[in-house]
């Protein structure tokens, strides 16, 4: 058993607002049965399958029985309720790594009684979904005549809101910026960064950085892009000769095209890099 979550759900037809009151969770337990480090639980409350609405609770420090007592509101048309589900996912905050998923509760909103406040005590189920660190849209272009690689950091979306300052656990909007590191044969040789966007989980940067790179070096080049908050890495990914998947495809397209190419890329656990 992973524990239980207590919450209420009520729909206001006049305001077209769905109100979720997260009361508490009890007896939180990891899948392997034992905590190897303190449990610092917080909840992500969202509507599926759209994932357009995602809210987060405060982090509760060192407890497996957190009392949240927090209210979340979603603007939803009544006809939309039939296809949506409320998902509450419990995580354990980790300052130096990706947050651990404890479990989740899923409620189809088609089952909701619209005439009253609905009260639920629900067992948490395993979740295979990784913690979403957000995405970054990047444009890459290589000007062959000038032997110049230009990276345009366009915008990010869905950055995580949970943040810890000192010993006070709180939810805060990140102050993101993007750091771009140039790697040659795996060695970092240069780095540049954008300006910082204050209190923004969907920041628009539209800033360019450039590197002078000879054609002969292109087969040895990688770019490590990291979305940062203060000195902490929110998430990263690698684009270049040694990248994999979509990031490698993006790099190959840039080398063969005569124009800049832009793609969204999912931010990954910075421990990988």
Asked if pLDDT for residue 77 goes beyond 60, the answer is yes
Task: Give residue 33's pLDDT.
Answer: 64
Please tell me the predicted confidence (pLDDT) of residue 229.
87
Q: How far apart are CA 153 and CA 199, in angstroms?
A: 18
Distance CA 268, CA 138 (A): 15
Mean pLDDT of 199-225: 94
Given a cut of 90, whether residue 55 has pLDDT beyond it is no
Residue 6: what pLDDT? 98
Average pLDDT over residues 156-165: 65
Residue 169 has pLDDT above 50, yes or no: no
3-state SS class at 256: helix
Residue with the bigger pLDDT between 159 and 6: it is 6
- Look at 214 and 273; give whichever has higher pLDDT: 214
pLDDT, the chain, mean: 87
Question: Residue 26 pLDDT more than 90?
Answer: yes
Q: Which has the closest alpha carbon to 39: 3, 88, 89, 93? A: 93
Residue 172, pLDDT above cutoff 60:
no
Nearest residue to 125 via CA among 2, 261, 229: 2
CA pseudo-torsion sign 197, 136, 48, 76: positive
pTM exceeds cut of 0.75: no
Structure confidence at residue 46 (pLDDT): 87
Is a pLDDT exceeding 80 seen at residue 233? Answer: yes
Q: How confident is the model at residue 100 (pLDDT cuts 50, 70, 90)?
A: confident
For 266-272, what is the mean pLDDT? 84
Closest CA to 89 of 181, 193, 7: 7
Vertex 53, ends 49 and 57: CA angle to 5°? 115
Structural domains of the chain sorted by starting position, each given as residue range(s) with its CATH number in brackets:
3-124 (2.60.40.150), 135-272 (2.60.40.150)
Res. 166 pLDDT band, cuts 50 70 90: very low
Residue 134 has pLDDT above 90, yes or no: no
Q: Exposed, middle or buried, 117 (CB in 10 Å: 0-12/13-18/19+)?
A: exposed
pLDDT over threshold 80, residue 248: yes
Peptide bond into 3 cis (omega under 30): no
Q: Lowest-pLDDT range, 10-24, 67-81, 157-171, 233-247?
A: 157-171
159 and 234 in contact (C-beta within 8 Å)? Answer: yes
Mean per-residue pLDDT, 148-159: 93
Among the listed residues 101, 98, 120, the one whose alpha carbon sits nearest the alpha carbon of residue 111:
120
């Amino acid at each position: 058993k992973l524990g239980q979550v207590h919450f209420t759900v009520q729909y206001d037809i006049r305001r077209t607002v769905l109100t979720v009151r997260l009361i508490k969770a009890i007896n939180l337990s990891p899948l392997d049965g034992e905590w190897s480090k303190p449990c610092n639980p917080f909840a992500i409350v969202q509507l599926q399958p759209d994932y357009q609405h995602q809210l987060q609770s405060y982090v509760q420090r060192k407890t497996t029985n957190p009392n949240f007592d927090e209210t979340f509101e979603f603007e939803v048309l009544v006809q939309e309720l039939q296809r949506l589900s409320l998902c509450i996912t419990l995580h354990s905050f980790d300052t130096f790594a990706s947050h651990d998923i404890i479990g989740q509760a899923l409620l189809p909103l088609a089952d909701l009684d619209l005439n009253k406040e609905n009260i639920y005590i629900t067992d948490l189920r395993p979740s295979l979904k990784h913690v979403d660190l957000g995405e970054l849209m990047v444009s890459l272009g290589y000007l062959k005549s000038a032997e110049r690689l230009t990276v345009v950091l366009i915008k990010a979306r869905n950055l995580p809101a949970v943040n810890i300052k000192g010993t006070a656990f709180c939810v805060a909007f990140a102050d993101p910026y993007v750091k771009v590191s140039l790697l040659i044969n795996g060695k970092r040789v240069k780095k540049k960064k954008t300006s910082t966007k204050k209190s923004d989980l969907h920041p628009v940067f539209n800033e360019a950085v450039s590197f002078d790179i000879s054609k002969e070096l292109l087969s040895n080049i990688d770019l490590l892009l990291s979305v940062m908050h203060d000195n902490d890495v929110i998430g990263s990914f690698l684009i270049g000769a040694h990248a994999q998947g979509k990031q490698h495809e993006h790099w190959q397209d840039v080398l063969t095209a005569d124009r800049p190419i832009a793609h969204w890329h999912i931010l990954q656990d910075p421990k990988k890099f």
